[in-house]
Amino acid sequence: MDHEKKENEAGVRMTRKTAYIAIAVVLVAGLGIAGAFLGLFDGITGMDEDVVATVNGEVVTEEEFNQAMEQEKMQYQAQGVDLESEEMAEMLADLEEQVLDNYFIIPILLEQKAEEQGIEISDEEIEERYQEYAAQFGGEEQLLEAMEDAGLNREDLDEDIIRELTIQNYLDQYLETYLEENPDERIEADKVELSDEEVEEYYQQMRSQYDEIKEVVEAEDPEVPAEQQEMMEMQFAQIEEQYGDIMEADDFEEVKPQLEEEMREERVAQEKQEKEQRILMAHIEELREESDVEKNL
Protein backbone atom coordinates (compact mmCIF):
# COMPACT_ATOMS: atom_id res chain seq x y z
CA MET A 1 0.00 0.00 0.00
CA ASP A 2 2.86 2.41 0.84
CA HIS A 3 4.43 1.62 -2.53
CA GLU A 4 1.18 2.41 -4.35
CA LYS A 5 0.81 5.63 -2.40
CA LYS A 6 4.34 6.73 -3.33
CA GLU A 7 3.65 6.01 -6.99
CA ASN A 8 0.46 8.06 -6.87
CA GLU A 9 2.22 10.93 -5.14
CA ALA A 10 4.95 10.90 -7.78
CA GLY A 11 2.33 11.00 -10.49
CA VAL A 12 0.65 14.02 -8.92
CA ARG A 13 3.91 15.88 -8.46
CA MET A 14 4.65 15.48 -12.13
CA THR A 15 1.31 16.53 -13.54
CA ARG A 16 2.25 20.11 -14.31
CA LYS A 17 5.14 18.86 -16.42
CA THR A 18 3.75 16.01 -18.40
CA ALA A 19 0.12 16.93 -18.37
CA TYR A 20 1.57 19.89 -20.22
CA ILE A 21 2.33 17.25 -22.82
CA ALA A 22 -1.02 15.89 -23.82
CA ILE A 23 0.70 15.27 -27.14
CA ALA A 24 2.03 12.16 -25.51
CA VAL A 25 -1.27 10.44 -26.14
CA VAL A 26 -0.76 10.84 -29.86
CA LEU A 27 2.93 11.38 -30.35
CA VAL A 28 5.11 9.50 -27.92
CA ALA A 29 4.18 5.95 -27.00
CA GLY A 30 4.77 5.29 -23.35
CA LEU A 31 4.35 8.82 -22.05
CA GLY A 32 0.59 8.52 -21.95
CA ILE A 33 -1.14 10.99 -19.66
CA ALA A 34 1.66 10.81 -17.12
CA GLY A 35 0.88 13.73 -14.78
CA ALA A 36 2.90 16.87 -14.24
CA PHE A 37 2.55 19.63 -11.67
CA LEU A 38 5.71 21.55 -12.49
CA GLY A 39 4.56 24.55 -14.52
CA LEU A 40 6.73 26.80 -16.66
CA PHE A 41 7.64 30.35 -15.70
CA ASP A 42 6.93 33.18 -18.12
CA GLY A 43 8.72 36.21 -19.33
CA ILE A 44 12.45 35.82 -18.67
CA THR A 45 14.66 36.14 -21.73
CA GLY A 46 18.34 35.31 -22.11
CA MET A 47 20.21 32.40 -20.61
CA ASP A 48 21.85 32.05 -17.19
CA GLU A 49 22.86 29.23 -14.90
CA ASP A 50 19.31 28.80 -13.59
CA VAL A 51 17.78 28.42 -17.06
CA VAL A 52 18.23 25.29 -19.15
CA ALA A 53 16.23 26.47 -22.18
CA THR A 54 14.19 29.30 -23.64
CA VAL A 55 11.38 28.87 -26.15
CA ASN A 56 10.45 32.15 -27.83
CA GLY A 57 11.45 33.88 -24.61
CA GLU A 58 9.66 31.47 -22.28
CA VAL A 59 12.04 29.74 -19.92
CA VAL A 60 12.58 26.27 -18.53
CA THR A 61 14.28 26.54 -15.17
CA GLU A 62 16.99 24.26 -13.88
CA GLU A 63 14.78 23.31 -10.92
CA GLU A 64 11.94 22.18 -13.19
CA PHE A 65 14.28 20.26 -15.42
CA ASN A 66 15.96 18.51 -12.50
CA GLN A 67 12.57 17.46 -11.13
CA ALA A 68 11.69 15.99 -14.51
CA MET A 69 14.99 14.14 -14.68
CA GLU A 70 14.48 12.73 -11.21
CA GLN A 71 11.08 11.40 -12.23
CA GLU A 72 12.59 9.70 -15.27
CA LYS A 73 15.36 8.20 -13.16
CA MET A 74 12.78 6.88 -10.69
CA GLN A 75 11.04 5.09 -13.53
CA TYR A 76 14.29 3.47 -14.63
CA GLN A 77 15.06 2.43 -11.05
CA ALA A 78 11.57 0.95 -10.68
CA GLN A 79 12.43 -1.26 -13.64
CA GLY A 80 15.62 -2.42 -11.96
CA VAL A 81 18.03 -0.29 -14.00
CA ASP A 82 21.33 0.53 -12.28
CA LEU A 83 21.77 4.26 -12.87
CA GLU A 84 25.36 4.04 -11.67
CA SER A 85 26.34 1.57 -14.37
CA GLU A 86 28.71 2.60 -17.14
CA GLU A 87 26.07 1.85 -19.76
CA MET A 88 23.51 4.09 -18.09
CA ALA A 89 26.03 6.89 -17.64
CA GLU A 90 26.46 6.99 -21.40
CA MET A 91 22.67 7.17 -21.84
CA LEU A 92 22.10 10.07 -19.44
CA ALA A 93 23.11 12.75 -21.94
CA ASP A 94 20.57 11.44 -24.44
CA LEU A 95 17.97 11.17 -21.69
CA GLU A 96 18.49 14.82 -20.76
CA GLU A 97 17.84 15.87 -24.34
CA GLN A 98 14.71 13.72 -24.51
CA VAL A 99 13.34 15.08 -21.23
CA LEU A 100 14.01 18.68 -22.23
CA ASP A 101 12.31 18.18 -25.60
CA ASN A 102 9.35 15.98 -24.63
CA TYR A 103 8.54 17.47 -21.25
CA PHE A 104 9.18 21.13 -21.99
CA ILE A 105 10.17 22.45 -25.42
CA ILE A 106 7.53 20.63 -27.49
CA PRO A 107 4.64 21.33 -25.07
CA ILE A 108 5.63 25.01 -24.82
CA LEU A 109 5.72 25.36 -28.60
CA LEU A 110 2.29 23.78 -28.89
CA GLU A 111 0.76 25.80 -26.08
CA GLN A 112 2.08 29.01 -27.60
CA LYS A 113 0.54 28.05 -30.94
CA ALA A 114 -2.75 27.14 -29.26
CA GLU A 115 -2.85 30.54 -27.56
CA GLU A 116 -2.31 32.19 -30.95
CA GLN A 117 -5.34 30.26 -32.20
CA GLY A 118 -7.43 31.49 -29.28
CA ILE A 119 -8.28 28.00 -28.05
CA GLU A 120 -10.25 28.03 -24.80
CA ILE A 121 -11.28 25.22 -22.46
CA SER A 122 -14.76 25.05 -20.96
CA ASP A 123 -15.58 24.30 -17.33
CA GLU A 124 -17.30 21.12 -18.50
CA GLU A 125 -14.10 19.90 -20.19
CA ILE A 126 -12.08 20.65 -17.06
CA GLU A 127 -14.49 18.75 -14.83
CA GLU A 128 -14.59 15.78 -17.19
CA ARG A 129 -10.80 15.48 -17.19
CA TYR A 130 -10.71 15.93 -13.40
CA GLN A 131 -13.05 12.96 -13.02
CA GLU A 132 -10.79 10.94 -15.32
CA TYR A 133 -7.82 11.71 -13.07
CA ALA A 134 -9.85 10.74 -10.01
CA ALA A 135 -10.71 7.41 -11.63
CA GLN A 136 -7.03 6.75 -12.36
CA PHE A 137 -6.25 7.24 -8.67
CA GLY A 138 -9.04 4.93 -7.57
CA GLY A 139 -11.48 7.71 -6.64
CA GLU A 140 -11.61 11.40 -5.81
CA GLU A 141 -10.70 10.80 -2.18
CA GLN A 142 -7.42 9.13 -3.16
CA LEU A 143 -6.64 11.85 -5.68
CA LEU A 144 -7.23 14.62 -3.14
CA GLU A 145 -5.08 12.80 -0.60
CA ALA A 146 -2.23 12.51 -3.08
CA MET A 147 -2.58 16.18 -4.02
CA GLU A 148 -2.51 17.20 -0.37
CA ASP A 149 0.62 15.13 0.24
CA ALA A 150 2.23 16.93 -2.70
CA GLY A 151 1.18 20.36 -1.40
CA LEU A 152 -1.26 20.99 -4.27
CA ASN A 153 -4.86 22.07 -4.52
CA ARG A 154 -7.71 21.88 -7.03
CA GLU A 155 -6.74 25.21 -8.56
CA ASP A 156 -3.27 23.84 -9.34
CA LEU A 157 -4.76 20.79 -11.00
CA ASP A 158 -7.27 22.84 -12.98
CA GLU A 159 -4.45 24.98 -14.36
CA ASP A 160 -2.63 21.87 -15.51
CA ILE A 161 -5.79 20.40 -17.02
CA ILE A 162 -6.32 23.61 -18.98
CA ARG A 163 -2.77 23.40 -20.35
CA GLU A 164 -3.18 19.76 -21.25
CA LEU A 165 -6.54 20.19 -22.98
CA THR A 166 -5.42 23.37 -24.71
CA ILE A 167 -2.57 21.47 -26.35
CA GLN A 168 -4.72 18.45 -27.17
CA ASN A 169 -7.48 20.57 -28.68
CA TYR A 170 -4.94 22.42 -30.80
CA LEU A 171 -3.52 19.14 -32.08
CA ASP A 172 -7.00 17.82 -32.84
CA GLN A 173 -7.83 20.95 -34.79
CA TYR A 174 -4.54 20.86 -36.66
CA LEU A 175 -5.09 17.23 -37.66
CA GLU A 176 -8.65 17.89 -38.78
CA THR A 177 -7.57 20.83 -40.93
CA TYR A 178 -4.60 18.96 -42.36
CA LEU A 179 -6.68 15.96 -43.37
CA GLU A 180 -9.36 18.16 -44.89
CA GLU A 181 -6.67 19.73 -47.05
CA ASN A 182 -5.03 16.35 -47.75
CA PRO A 183 -7.91 13.86 -48.01
CA ASP A 184 -5.71 11.29 -49.76
CA GLU A 185 -3.86 10.79 -46.46
CA ARG A 186 -6.93 9.63 -44.58
CA ILE A 187 -6.92 5.99 -43.54
CA GLU A 188 -10.14 4.36 -44.71
CA ALA A 189 -11.31 0.85 -43.79
CA ASP A 190 -12.17 -0.03 -47.38
CA LYS A 191 -8.56 0.63 -48.38
CA VAL A 192 -7.20 -1.99 -45.97
CA GLU A 193 -6.45 -5.26 -47.74
CA LEU A 194 -6.27 -8.57 -45.87
CA SER A 195 -5.13 -11.90 -47.22
CA ASP A 196 -6.81 -15.20 -46.29
CA GLU A 197 -3.51 -16.29 -44.73
CA GLU A 198 -3.41 -13.24 -42.47
CA VAL A 199 -6.95 -13.80 -41.26
CA GLU A 200 -6.37 -17.48 -40.54
CA GLU A 201 -3.10 -16.75 -38.71
CA TYR A 202 -4.93 -14.14 -36.63
CA TYR A 203 -7.59 -16.71 -35.78
CA GLN A 204 -5.02 -19.33 -34.77
CA GLN A 205 -3.24 -16.85 -32.51
CA MET A 206 -6.52 -15.92 -30.84
CA ARG A 207 -7.46 -19.58 -30.49
CA SER A 208 -4.11 -20.46 -28.94
CA GLN A 209 -4.21 -17.57 -26.49
CA TYR A 210 -7.81 -18.31 -25.56
CA ASP A 211 -7.15 -22.00 -24.92
CA GLU A 212 -4.01 -21.29 -22.91
CA ILE A 213 -5.68 -18.77 -20.63
CA LYS A 214 -8.81 -20.90 -20.28
CA GLU A 215 -6.71 -23.85 -19.15
CA VAL A 216 -4.95 -21.79 -16.47
CA VAL A 217 -8.18 -20.20 -15.25
CA GLU A 218 -10.09 -23.45 -15.01
CA ALA A 219 -7.23 -25.34 -13.37
CA GLU A 220 -7.15 -22.97 -10.37
CA ASP A 221 -3.64 -24.20 -9.60
CA PRO A 222 -2.84 -23.30 -5.96
CA GLU A 223 0.78 -22.76 -6.97
CA VAL A 224 -0.22 -19.88 -9.23
CA PRO A 225 -0.01 -16.60 -7.24
CA ALA A 226 -3.41 -15.12 -6.46
CA GLU A 227 -2.62 -11.86 -8.25
CA GLN A 228 -1.61 -13.71 -11.40
CA GLN A 229 -4.73 -15.88 -11.23
CA GLU A 230 -6.92 -12.82 -10.86
CA MET A 231 -5.21 -11.09 -13.78
CA MET A 232 -5.68 -14.16 -15.98
CA GLU A 233 -9.34 -14.37 -15.03
CA MET A 234 -9.86 -10.73 -15.96
CA GLN A 235 -8.06 -11.22 -19.25
CA PHE A 236 -10.11 -14.32 -20.00
CA ALA A 237 -13.34 -12.48 -19.21
CA GLN A 238 -12.38 -9.72 -21.63
CA ILE A 239 -11.63 -12.21 -24.39
CA GLU A 240 -14.90 -14.03 -23.69
CA GLU A 241 -16.86 -10.80 -23.89
CA GLN A 242 -15.26 -9.66 -27.14
CA TYR A 243 -14.54 -12.92 -28.94
CA GLY A 244 -16.55 -15.60 -27.14
CA ASP A 245 -18.85 -16.27 -30.08
CA ILE A 246 -15.85 -16.66 -32.39
CA MET A 247 -14.10 -19.04 -30.04
CA GLU A 248 -17.22 -21.19 -29.70
CA ALA A 249 -17.59 -21.63 -33.48
CA ASP A 250 -16.43 -24.96 -34.92
CA ASP A 251 -15.87 -23.75 -38.47
CA PHE A 252 -13.24 -21.10 -39.33
CA GLU A 253 -15.12 -20.15 -42.50
CA GLU A 254 -18.17 -19.41 -40.39
CA VAL A 255 -16.38 -16.72 -38.36
CA LYS A 256 -14.03 -15.48 -41.08
CA PRO A 257 -16.16 -12.41 -42.02
CA GLN A 258 -16.28 -11.31 -38.38
CA LEU A 259 -12.55 -11.84 -37.99
CA GLU A 260 -11.87 -9.79 -41.09
CA GLU A 261 -13.95 -6.96 -39.68
CA GLU A 262 -12.09 -7.12 -36.36
CA MET A 263 -8.71 -7.15 -38.11
CA ARG A 264 -9.67 -4.31 -40.42
CA GLU A 265 -10.75 -2.14 -37.48
CA GLU A 266 -7.49 -2.86 -35.65
CA ARG A 267 -5.41 -2.20 -38.76
CA VAL A 268 -7.20 1.08 -39.43
CA ALA A 269 -6.69 2.22 -35.83
CA GLN A 270 -3.00 1.32 -35.95
CA GLU A 271 -2.33 2.91 -39.33
CA LYS A 272 -4.32 5.99 -38.34
CA GLN A 273 -2.27 6.43 -35.20
CA GLU A 274 0.99 6.02 -37.11
CA LYS A 275 -0.16 8.49 -39.76
CA GLU A 276 -1.19 11.05 -37.15
CA GLN A 277 2.15 10.69 -35.37
CA ARG A 278 4.02 11.40 -38.58
CA ILE A 279 1.85 14.41 -39.39
CA LEU A 280 2.19 15.90 -35.92
CA MET A 281 5.92 15.24 -35.67
CA ALA A 282 6.41 17.01 -38.99
CA HIS A 283 4.34 19.94 -37.69
CA ILE A 284 6.42 20.12 -34.52
CA GLU A 285 9.60 20.25 -36.57
CA GLU A 286 8.10 23.13 -38.54
CA LEU A 287 7.36 24.95 -35.28
CA ARG A 288 10.94 24.38 -34.12
CA GLU A 289 12.35 25.82 -37.33
CA GLU A 290 10.25 28.96 -37.15
CA SER A 291 10.80 29.50 -33.41
CA ASP A 292 13.64 30.83 -31.26
CA VAL A 293 14.70 27.84 -29.17
CA GLU A 294 17.89 27.87 -27.10
CA LYS A 295 19.26 25.09 -24.90
CA ASN A 296 21.71 25.44 -22.03
CA LEU A 297 22.27 21.87 -20.84
Proportion of the chain above pLDDT 70, given as a percent? 84
How confident is the prediction for the chain on average, in pLDDT? 79
- SS3 label, residue 137: coil
Between these two residues, 183 and 17, which has the higher pLDDT value?
183
Other CB atoms within 10 A of residue 210 CB: 17
Other CB atoms within 10 A of residue 214 CB: 15
Helix (H) or strand (E) holding 207: helix 196-219
What is the predicted pLDDT for the residue at 5? 42
pLDDT digits (tens, 9 = 90+) for 130-156: 998 888 888 999 888 888 887 778 888
Model pTM above 0.75:
no
What is the predicted pLDDT for the residue at 49? 56
List Cα–Cα distances, 192 to 141, 265, 268, 270, in angstroms: 46, 9, 7, 11
What is the predicted pLDDT for the residue at 286? 96
What is the predicted pLDDT for the residue at 55? 95
- Average of pLDDT values for 176-185? 94
User: Quick check: 34 pLDDT over 50?
Assistant: no
Residue 139 CA to its chain's centroid (Å): 20
Between these two residues, 278 and 242, which has the higher pLDDT value?
278
pLDDT digits (tens, 9 = 90+) for 99-139: 899 889 999 999 999 999 999 999 999 999 999 888 888 89
* Phi–psi pair at 151, nearest 5 degrees: 75, 35
pLDDT digits (tens, 9 = 90+) for 246-276: 887 777 888 888 888 888 888 898 888 889 9
* Phi–psi pair at 272, nearest 5 degrees: -65, -45
Q: Which domains does the chain have, with CATH numbers?
A: 2-181 (1.10.4030.10), 189-275 (no CATH)
